Structure 1
Amino acid sequence: MPETLPELLAALIRINSVNPSLVPGAPGETTLAHFVADWLRGHGIGAAIDEAAPGRPSVIATVPGRGGGRSLLLYAHLDTVGTEHMPAPFDPVIRGGRLYGRGSYDMKGGLAACLLALLGAREAGLRGDVILTAVADEEHASLGMQSVLRRVTADAAIVTEPTSLQLCVAHKGFTWHEVTTYGRAAHGSRPDLGTDAIAHMGRVLGRLEALGRDLASRPAHPLLGHASVHASLIQGGQELSSYPERCTLQVERRTLPGETRESIEAEWNTLLGDLARDPAFHAEHRMTLLRDAFGISEDAPIVRVLHEQAAQILGQPPAHIGMSFWMDAAFLAGAGIPTVVFGPHGAGAHATEEWVDLASAEQCRAVLAATLRDFCA
Structure 2
Amino acid sequence: MNPRDLLAGLIAIDSVNPDLVPGGNGEKDIADFCTTWFQRNGFEVHRLERRPGRPSIVAVKKGTGGGRSLMLNGHLDTVGLAGYAGDPLEPRTEDGRMHGRGTFDMKGGIAAMMVAAARATERPLRGDVIVACVADEEHGSTGTAEVLESFTADAAIVTEPSHLEVTLAHKGFVWFEVEVEGRAAHGSRPELGVDAIAKAGHFLVALEQLQEDLANGPRHHLLGTGTVHASLITGGEEASTYPASCRITLERRTVPGESPQQTHQELQTVLDHLTATIPDFRATLTRGLARDPFEADPDAEIVRTLVANLDAEPVIRAEPFWTDCALLDRAGIPCLLFGVDGAGAHAATEYVDLASLDRLTDVLTGTITAFCDQDGGQGLPRSRGDESRA
Q: Same fold (TM over 0.5)?
A: yes
Residues 179 and 249, structure 1, Cα contact 8 Å, conserved in 2: yes
1:371 positional shift = 0.8
Does 1:166 find its partner at 2:162?
A: no
1:95-115 C-alpha deviation (Å, 9 max, x unpaired):
111111111111111111111
1:17 positional shift = 1.1
Determine the C-alpha separation between the residues in 2 that align with 1:367 and 1:126.
Answer: 17
The equivalent of 1:205 in structure 2 is 204
1:281 positional shift = 2.0
1:21-78 C-alpha deviation (Å, 9 max, x unpaired):
2222222111110111111111111111111301001100111111121111001111
1:150-197 C-alpha deviation (Å, 9 max, x unpaired):
111111110000111100000111111100111111222222211121
Higher mean C-alpha deviation, range 340-349 or range 77-86: 77-86
Determine the C-alpha separation between the residues in 2 that align with 1:237 and 1:162.
Answer: 42
1:239 positional shift = 2.0
Does 1:214 find its partner at 2:210?
A: no
Does 1:22 find its partner at 2:20?
A: yes
Q: Secondary structure at the match of 2:363?
A: helix
Residues 108 and 357, structure 2, Cα contact 8 Å, conserved in 1: yes
The equivalent of 1:97 in structure 2 is 96
The equivalent of 1:236 in structure 2 is 235
Residues 52 and 144, structure 1, Cα contact 8 Å, conserved in 2: no
Residues 70 and 376, structure 1, Cα contact 8 Å, conserved in 2: yes
Determine the C-alpha separation between the residues in 2 that align with 1:264 and 1:185.
Answer: 31
The equivalent of 1:289 in structure 2 is 289
RMSD: 1.3
Residues 42 and 61, structure 2, Cα contact 8 Å, conserved in 1: no
The equivalent of 2:226 in structure 1 is 227
Q: Which residue of the other structure, out of 368, 372, 381, is the alignment partner of 1:372?
A: 368
Determine the C-alpha separation between the residues in 2 that align with 1:32 and 1:170.
Answer: 29
Residues 52 and 143, structure 1, Cα contact 8 Å, conserved in 2: no
> Taking structure 2 as the reference length, what is the TM-score of the superposition?
0.92
Amino acid at match of 2:296: I
Determine the C-alpha separation between the residues in 2 that align with 1:361 and 1:276.
Answer: 55
The equivalent of 1:124 in structure 2 is 123
Residues 63 and 121, structure 1, Cα contact 8 Å, conserved in 2: no
1:242 positional shift = 2.1
Q: Secondary structure at the match of 1:235?
A: strand
The equivalent of 2:141 in structure 1 is 142
Q: Where does the alignment leave 5 or more consecutive residues of structure 1 unmatched? A: none
The equivalent of 1:346 in structure 2 is 342
Determine the C-alpha separation between the residues in 2 that align with 1:121 and 1:102.
Answer: 28
1:219-263 C-alpha deviation (Å, 9 max, x unpaired):
221211221111111111222222221111111111101111221
Q: Secondary structure at the match of 2:348?
A: coil
Does 1:154 find its partner at 2:153?
A: yes
1:286-326 C-alpha deviation (Å, 9 max, x unpaired):
0111111111121111111111112xxxx311201000111
The equivalent of 1:189 in structure 2 is 188
The equivalent of 2:359 in structure 1 is 363
The equivalent of 1:175 in structure 2 is 174
Determine the C-alpha separation between the residues in 1 that align with 2:334 and 2:60.
Answer: 19
Determine the C-alpha separation between the residues in 1 that align with 2:146 and 2:344.
Answer: 28
Larger relative contact order (CA 8 Å, sep ≥ 6): 2
> Taking structure 1 as the reference length, what is the TM-score of the superposition?
0.95
The count of aligned residue pairs is 371
Determine the C-alpha separation between the residues in 1 that align with 2:88 and 2:191.
Answer: 60
Residues 124 and 373, structure 1, Cα contact 8 Å, conserved in 2: no
Amino acid at match of 2:119: G
Determine the C-alpha separation between the residues in 2 that align with 1:119 and 1:166.
Answer: 23
1:133 positional shift = 0.3
1:354 positional shift = 1.1
1:132 positional shift = 0.5
1:271 positional shift = 1.1
Does 1:31 find its partner at 2:29?
A: yes
Determine the C-alpha separation between the residues in 2 that align with 1:289 and 1:261.
Answer: 9
Determine the C-alpha separation between the residues in 1 that align with 2:283 and 2:83.
Answer: 42
**Identity %, equivalent residues:** 50
The equivalent of 2:61 in structure 1 is 63
The equivalent of 2:7 in structure 1 is 9
Determine the C-alpha separation between the residues in 2 that align with 1:291 and 1:270.
Answer: 22
